[in-house]
Amino acid sequence: MTDKLKSLLPENLNEPKSHAELMRHKSLTQKAFPHVRMRRLRRTDALRDMVRENSLSVNDLIYPLFVEEELDTPAPINSMPGVMRETEKSLEAKMKEVAKSGLKSVMLFGVSHHKDHTGSDSMNPNGLMARMIDRAKQAAPEVMVIADACFCEYTDHGHCGPINTMGDVDNDRTIENIAMQAVTAAEAGADMIAPSGMMDGQISAIRHALDVTGFTHIPIMAYAAKFASVFYGPFRDAAGCSLGQNDNVPTHRKSYQMDPANGREAIRDALLDEEEGADILMVKPGMPYLDVLSQLRQKSDLPLAAYQVSGEYAMIRFAAEAGALDYKEAMMESLTCFKRAGADLILTYSALDTAHWLENS
């Protein structure tokens, strides 16, 4: 052994040492650096790929689509750059595009022109919800169609169910209706039901209704922790379900959607949905609630979904248009964050773009 190499090795502790020398040696050997260097595994693309803990694929993505009846041509949504309201006719071409991209699933939202107090058109086997589900399945049978089961797009007041005499959404009437809505969607060909109204008992009501009508095989993706968030603003423009159109109803959804300040309540609510028979649990919005998603991952073994909602998507798009950041890089980073926090599935308006990026990466 050369003298140079000996000089690099720790001193022999069997040799007599002064107290000061022993303390100095102990201090040096207890420090990880310079022997442990975290940057070693970050040096090259190959190393980074080798040790990457989470990855994103088209199998993880769900593409939300808006379908407006009585519309002649697809219409852009100003508050959501790159997103369109599809017509019932153009939905066919869009579904074929989705299938070609490799995406496996879509979620359909109707923009109704036949609204009433209860949202009855969504329970009509000839209504918009049933028609768009049927058209989507006919166009691309291999793509899974998820039906958003809610009434806000179909009521004339914009709330997620009929209003009771106290001026609030009637929980129990709503879950009776949503059970019928879910069966209507299943009969039209929906592959999955996703109730988003945050009504107590809605999962149990839907599960029972599906089971007794022969749809035991249809899974339910529960909007298990859906917060009363400002980040839904662009969606409400897109779906035509903004509040304030009727003076006799509340101008907010805080009596049924969750308080953004409450994390423990969100976990409790989600686990109740699991008990009622949900097959997948969703946290909505996404990035502002990564802590809830991560905590839920520790509590439940069910597949988890995160919804990158319209406001999150719009912020990235508008920031990119202003030159403040790169759209692709920002979007890919944010979607990967959902996977890191515990999401198995991600709903995002960028799904089609992301599928193309992944294909070309």
Cis geometry, peptide bond prior to residue 285 (ω within 30 degrees of 0): yes
The verdict on whether 226 is a catalytic residue reads yes
CA angle (121, 241, 129) in 5-degree steps: 30
Element (H, E) at 298: helix 290-299
Of 104, 115, 137, 226, the catalytic one is 226
284 is catalytic: yes
Contact 115, 156 (CB under 8 A): yes
Residue 305's closest CA among 105, 150, 108, 130?
Answer: 105
DSSP string spanning 16-50?
---HHHHHHHHHHHH--TTT--GGGGGSSHHHHHH
Catalytic residue among 94, 284, 299, 339: 284
For residues 254 and 129, what is the distance between their CA atoms, to the nearest angstrom?
Answer: 26
Output phi, psi for 65, to 5 deg.
-130, 140
Catalytically annotated residues? 226, 284
